Structure 1
Amino acid sequence: MTATRVLVLNSGSSSVKYQLLDMRDSSRLAMGLVERIGEETSRLKHTPLTDGGASRERTEPIADHEAALKAVAEELAEDGLGLDSPELAAIGHRVVHGGQSFTRPTLIDSAVLAEIERLIPVAPLHNPANLTGIRTARALRPDLPQVAVFDTAFHTTMPESAARYAIDVETADAHRIRRYGFHGTSHAYVSRATAELLGKDPSEVNVIVLHLGNGASASAVEGGRCVDTSMGLTPLEGLVMGTRSGDMDPAVIFHLMRVGGMSTDEIDTLLNKKSGLIGLCGDNDMREIRRRIDEGDERAKLAFDIYIHRLKKYIGAYYAVLGRVDAVAFTAGVGENAAPVREAAVAGLEGLGLAVDGDLNAVRGDAPRLISPAGARVAVAVVPTDEELEIAAQTYALIEKNI
């Protein structure tokens, strides 16, 4: 291909994140964020990444996603990287929910758009915004191939024994209720990068990936294929997160409705936005929680202990699912930066071959690295995630294949 650039778009309800990459060497040419779309105080921060360019900011009303993408196009054009460039090969879109329909990156056409729209009931917060970004980008460049890369796709290899809930099959099928999993582009990238760190082919390696950010998920990856993951029908299931509860007895919901008099929307807000770490101690920033623990704050310590207890349970569960574990990889904001979380998560698991070296664990860096002692039976690694590069790589590979 003569055109080698891919623009990656991640459209939220009131934001657009973007990166422009050159797939000849996976280098980044520009990146930015438009936020508070639809408000008078909309903000666009654009950073050119070639020739030492300085970041630029615009604070002005940006009415909708069409205006946002036009503003992004203007900023890119100022750097000679406009959307009309013949070097732009495709636009890759992050789409949160692909259901069972989409198991790989997919060229977008009207049928694909209709199916993404059909999945809105199982992703009401994300798919509508993703659709808006896609439609806007297609209107701006109708001639350009555009690709949907789905958060759920990596997890579609889960066996039915892991993907199904133990409820009436007919009811589950009628309402598309099953475990889909999320953060799939991160889990795919990190599991493969972990294998590379070990000097092995991904097909030879079993990895437990711990994506720990404000949203958090774990996956069991066997020979490059996901066989289990902690998030389910929605991103609410699984680990304790910044504002989400994670695993919980579903009867708590009935209790809150019957005894607490709470509505469905109130419970939804409670479990998704007022639970997890922020519900337990009032903070969802792990740095602040650790500072409070150092000052003797018992509520912060309890929140941390609950977070670690759930994390450790999933490590043990996925060890059992895989049977043999070659590596445990920590990634995302907390996983990459919070050494105390990594240390606590594997403490007491020496019998499973898991341990961290204190000195190695304390080192900060942007490159994948091992933090387990030399000769450890199971490698423990810190592997920075790169979801934008993964989306760009999947997009470009699909475009190359279809030429």
Structure 2
Amino acid sequence: MKINSAKTLSILVINAGSSSIKFALYQNDQEPKVLFKGKLENIGIQNTTATFSTSITEKKQNLLLHTNDYSHASNFLTGWLEKQEGFNEISAIGHRIVHGMQHTEPQLITDELIENLKKISPYDPEHLPQEIKLIELFSKHYPEIKQVACFDTSFHSTMPTVAKLLPIPRKYTEKGIRRYGFHGLSYAYLIHELERLTDKKTAHGKVILAHLGNGASLAAVKNSHSIDTTMSFTPASGVVMSSRTGDLDPGVAWYLMQFEKLSPKQFDHLVNHESGLLGVSETSSDMRELLKIELRDYRAAEAVNLFCYDVKKTIGSFAAILGGVDTLIFSGGIGENIPLVRKRICEGLDFLGIEIDLDRNEKNDTVISSNSGKVTIRVIPTNEELMIARLVSQVLDVNIKN
């Protein structure tokens, strides 16, 4: 494969989840420009689907892969990518790494870094093992292409010590057991986008970011730095999610292991895949599906109410930490696309200056706050892949200069 100057070539972005792989190819310019993008979904759940589009047509194409295996899906992806125009001009591959622990900056992937990630993978069994396998797959097929790790925890490294501490014996804290926070690549993008849409003063104000999707979290941001967030040592903590519990009384773990005879592995599966909206509703982990049936199924209604209640409660607590709120941003699949959930979350928060405009909200306008509200409420689609491309470009620039 021909490799030239990084400045003139492209960056491939890989964003691996527990059952999905998002990917995008960016032209490495002053501001990375997407050439094509896509995703593999439902890996390991049912027949995997592949969706992709190019910057030229914007027309989505769909493929059904007859596999439920992550390795097969990964191999399909590399084979498909090789056939795409521009693949032979890739200068680097950027990977979203969910848990970085002590790693606070994007960095070139080395054998030493991979070994370190393997050591900490038990802390995030839902993401890290698959992310490592993809790194090794690309390394095996394309050893001449640089790979860069972009850590989802990096954004929260600015949190004060009090926000990082867990109330457990300090000997465990010294081993790295503390609050890290996640969705950092999304939050970094949203703050960057807020400054682009407004100005530096607004972006440096008191901002609450709500990344509400299958995985959901919120962050309190001041002077463009994270000062608190809902997710903690793992992405299973914080607010209620599609199939994750969010925060849970540790006594529940003891009870289930003691009296229901759940093994640690079974308990991990329960809190990550059987709980949240799915567990409470006993029907679906999909917010849209629950809203369709909430009037005739009290379990669905309670699941939706619990989600909105949890997010509302967090906004109030973060307002206390920030000393007020200037801007509230909704993002993620639920936050960007479901006006009814945004409305229910904001109801009753007028004492904080949070007042939603029903018409703007229903239309999914960029600004959905009322003119009388003191807090500006925005809907900003997140773009973790673009943020990764920007970070990779920065790493390449530093590498070239050195």
User: Taking structure 2 as the reference length, what is the TM-score of the superposition?
Assistant: 0.89
Distance 1:198 1:374, change over 3 A: farther
> Which position in structure 2 is the counterpart of 1:168?
169
| TM-superposition CA deviations, 1:182-204 (whole Å, max 9, x none) | 11111111123223333335662
| TM-superposition CA deviations, 1:274-312 (whole Å, max 9, x none) | 21111111222111221222x343222222221111111
Aligned mates of 2:341, 2:204 — CA distance in 1: 28
2:86 is equivalent to residue 81 of structure 1: yes
Aligned mates of 2:373, 2:196 — CA distance in 1: 17
SS at match of 1:97: coil
| TM-superposition CA deviations, 1:52-95 (whole Å, max 9, x none) | 67636374669874x7566445534544222x22xx23110111
Choose the corresponding residue for 1:22, options 11, 23, 27: 27
Contact 2:164 2:180 in 1 (8 A): yes
Distance 1:373 1:140, change over 3 A: same
Q: Within 5 A, what are the aligned runs for 1:258-337? A: 258-282=258-282, 283-293=284-294, 295-337=295-337
Q: Within 5 A, what are the aligned runs for 1:105-120? A: 105-120=106-121
Distance 1:70 1:3, change over 3 A: farther
SS at match of 1:47: strand
> Which position in structure 1 is the counterpart of 2:3?
none
**Cα drift, residue 14 of structure 1:** 6.4
Contact 1:9 1:92 in 2 (8 A): yes
Choose the corresponding residue for 1:390, options 372, 387, 390: 387
- Which moved further from structure 2: 52-61 or 356-365? 52-61
2:246 is equivalent to residue 257 of structure 1: no
> Which position in structure 2 is the counterpart of 1:6?
11
Aligned mates of 1:173, 1:254 — CA distance in 2: 24
> Which position in structure 1 is the counterpart of 2:53?
47
2:63 is equivalent to residue 57 of structure 1: yes
Contact 2:14 2:95 in 1 (8 A): yes
**Cα drift, residue 256 of structure 1:** 2.0
**Cα drift, residue 138 of structure 1:** 1.9
SS at match of 2:228: strand
Aligned mates of 1:52, 1:12 — CA distance in 2: 24
Distance 1:250 1:64, change over 3 A: closer
Q: Within 5 A, what are the aligned runs for 1:137-148? A: 137-148=138-149
Aligned mates of 1:398, 1:17 — CA distance in 2: 21
**Cα drift, residue 313 of structure 1:** 1.1
Aligned mates of 1:54, 1:342 — CA distance in 2: 28
> Which position in structure 2 is the counterpart of 1:210?
210
| TM-superposition CA deviations, 1:358-387 (whole Å, max 9, x none) | 00000136xxx1100125311111110001
Distance 1:61 1:216, change over 3 A: closer
Distance 1:397 1:179, change over 3 A: same
SS at match of 2:96: strand
- Which moved further from structure 2: 178-187 or 50-59? 50-59
Contact 1:48 1:55 in 2 (8 A): no
Structure 1, unpaired ranges of 5+:
none
Count residues in correspondence.
Answer: 393
Contact 1:202 1:224 in 2 (8 A): no
> Which position in structure 1 is the counterpart of 2:396?
399
Q: What one-letter code is carried by the residue in structure 2 that aligns with 1:389?
A: L
2:100 is equivalent to residue 98 of structure 1: yes
Distance 1:153 1:242, change over 3 A: same
> Which position in structure 2 is the counterpart of 1:354?
354
Distance 1:93 1:345, change over 3 A: same
Instruction: Give the superposed CA RMSD.
Output: 2.6
Amino-acid identity (%):
36
> Which position in structure 1 is the counterpart of 2:157?
156
Aligned mates of 2:392, 2:265 — CA distance in 1: 37
Aligned mates of 2:144, 2:180 — CA distance in 1: 32
Aligned mates of 2:101, 2:339 — CA distance in 1: 35
Contact 1:192 1:202 in 2 (8 A): no
Aligned mates of 1:200, 1:316 — CA distance in 2: 25
Contact 1:202 1:223 in 2 (8 A): no
Distance 1:212 1:63, change over 3 A: closer
Contact 2:325 2:352 in 1 (8 A): no
**Cα drift, residue 43 of structure 1:** 5.6
- Which moved further from structure 2: 378-387 or 261-270? 261-270
Structure 2, unpaired ranges of 5+:
1-5
Contact 2:47 2:64 in 1 (8 A): no
Contact 2:331 2:382 in 1 (8 A): yes
User: Taking structure 1 as the reference length, what is the TM-score of the superposition?
Assistant: 0.89
> Which position in structure 2 is the counterpart of 1:372?
369
Aligned mates of 2:333, 2:15 — CA distance in 1: 18
